[in-house]
Amino acid sequence: MEWHLFSSLFLLGISYTLQHDAHVRVDIFYATFTRKKQALINIIGFVVFILPISLLITYYGIDFAYNAYEINELSGDPGGLTHRYIIKSVIPLSFILVIISGILFAVDNYKHLNEDQT
């Protein structure tokens, strides 16, 4: 049970971390860039990396959770978890939240790109 709760907490924390710009990044070059270059890198990173993988995981994760619901999947261990579809549904839910947070993150960075132009 604790592994399921840990993974749920981790998955749901991804969008929170992205929203607060607290995710891990390698700052070898990034820290020396201007705010505009950082914003451009963040937007490109969202469009190239975060959005495609999040869409894929959401798409396949919905089927993954639905299949567990259809067969009423149970844990293989005696006395294990019932209703595993609830735990498995956290996967697509978390990546839907990542997409929403990523869009807000990209919009915020887009505003930084256009700060001096307005």
Tens of pLDDT along the chain (118 residues)? 667 788 888 888 988 898 888 877 777 888 899 999 999 999 999 999 999 999 999 999 999 989 988 988 777 777 777 778 888 899 999 999 999 999 999 999 999 888 866 5
Show the tokens assigned to 20.
Answer: 């607060």
Report the alpha-carbon distance of residue 107 to residue 118 in Å, rounded.
Answer: 16
pLDDT at residue 109, rounded to an integer: 93
Domain ranges of the chain: 2-19+33-113
Write the single-letter amino acid at 63.
Answer: D
**At 109, which amino acid appears?**
N
Count other C-beta atoms under 10 Å from residue 84's C-beta: 18
